[in-house]
Amino acid sequence: MTNNHQNDPVDETSASTDRRGFLKAAGVAGASAVAVAGAAHGKFGLAPITPAQADTMSPPKLSAEKWWPSKWGAEDEAGASNHITPAKVLDTVKWIKDGKIYKLGHNYESTMPLFGKRVFTLRIPGSPTGGPFGDNRLVYHDEFVTTEIGQVGTQFDFLGHIGIQLGADGDKREMRFYNGHSAAEFSDPYGLKKLGVENCKPLFTRGHLVDMVAVKGRMMEAGEEISVADMRAAFQKQNISEADIKPGDGIFFHTGWSSLWGKNNDKFNSGEPGIGLEVANWVIEKDLCLTGADTWAVEVVPNPDKTLAFAVHMTLQTKHGILNHENLVFDDLIADKKYQFVYSFTPVPITGGTGSPGVPIGIT
């Protein structure tokens, strides 16, 4: 595999910078989001925050107020997937008019762009793997895949993926995730003991697609933020009533960034357009189930506030349990002018996993 990512991140303004560099650039003052794989200050060459400093410093940015317990209960591990009730499903199915199904994701292959040092390789052991067996001389193939299975390609983030380091760096009692669960409670190298993707309920809800390429007349650029005004301009252009967006629905963004997929992976990895905290707060007010986009993080990178790392992730996922589907593909929906559709996806229930591979479908 070549040219998917850089060996050593540099300044985030460089087009050759991979996404890991943004974590380094934004990891100031103890404010960085904590990925399960470990993105602590010391790892990126920044001075760690000591317990003595933690006792006197202000809370990390955006985390001055306690965000738990969840509205779904102090022990909840399903987050916004709780929206998918029988009543929600019956309401959603009314949107199916012509029975057309759309594939909303990429194929998984070694040439796809990957985050930081993540990998994707597939081998067929033996090729064929076994046989022949029986008088009918059966032979078969298996595959062996090496990858961060829930965090490559078209990927679904669940609630054990992103947390916030409160207090001193490395204090797992104060690495807080959704519903206030601490890394000390559930982080384990052999699988998360809480908030694993197996806790996500099957998703079947109404999806609303925001076509920013149509609004802008071009592909959006890295670092270009989608505002609420932009989103409303798309609604007007697409004849979508904002009042028709209901609790438990999904909102999805087409920026054009996916046109770089497999063609210019360096640029794809260098940053991205996306939503910021303004739209994130709109999503919270609307009480939605999930966000998604044709980009690798859904949110704008770099953030206009260069001191913040993946602020939308921590605001929606960590604090509100709102889910996230990345690296989606909307070309066929847009070609058919289908901006409202049924979104259907069931994560692969990998016990203790931080997320899931898998391509959702849109149904109209």
- Whether residue 66 is contained in a domain is answered as no
Interval 263-301: pLDDT, tens: 999 999 999 999 999 999 999 999 999 999 999 999 999
Residue 30 in 3-state DSSP?
Answer: helix
- Whether residue 312 is contained in a domain is answered as yes
- Whether residue 101 is contained in a domain is answered as yes
Give percent of the chain with pLDDT exceeding 90: 82
- Whether residue 133 is contained in a domain is answered as no
Mean pLDDT of 141-157: 96
Q: What domain range is 233 assigned to?
A: 79-109+152-158+187-363
pLDDT at 300: 98
Binned at pLDDT 50, 70 and 90, residue 38 comes out as: very low
More confident site: 29 or 233: 233
- Whether residue 118 is contained in a domain is answered as no
Binned at pLDDT 50, 70 and 90, residue 56 comes out as: low
The C-alpha atoms of residue 77 and residue 182 are separated, in whole angstroms, by: 13
Number of domains in the chain: 1
Instruction: Return the CATH number at 103.
Output: 3.50.30.50
Mean pLDDT of 64-85: 97
pLDDT of 23 strictly over 60: no
Interval 164-181: pLDDT, tens: 999 899 999 999 999 999
Cis amide bond preceding 69, omega within 30: yes
The C-alpha atoms of residue 274 and residue 350 are separated, in whole angstroms, by: 28
Mean pLDDT of 42-67: 69
Interval 106-147: pLDDT, tens: 999 999 999 999 999 999 999 999 999 999 999 999 999 999
Q: For the chain, how far is it from start to end, CA to CA, in angstroms? A: 37
Mean pLDDT of 309-329: 98
pTM beyond 0.75, yes or no: yes
Could you tell me where the DSSP H helices lie in the chain?
20-25, 51-56, 86-93, 183-186, 212-216, 228-238, 265-269, 277-286, 311-313, 319-320, 331-335
pLDDT of 222 strictly over 50: yes
- Whether residue 170 is contained in a domain is answered as no
pLDDT at 31: 36
- Whether residue 221 is contained in a domain is answered as yes
- Whether residue 57 is contained in a domain is answered as no
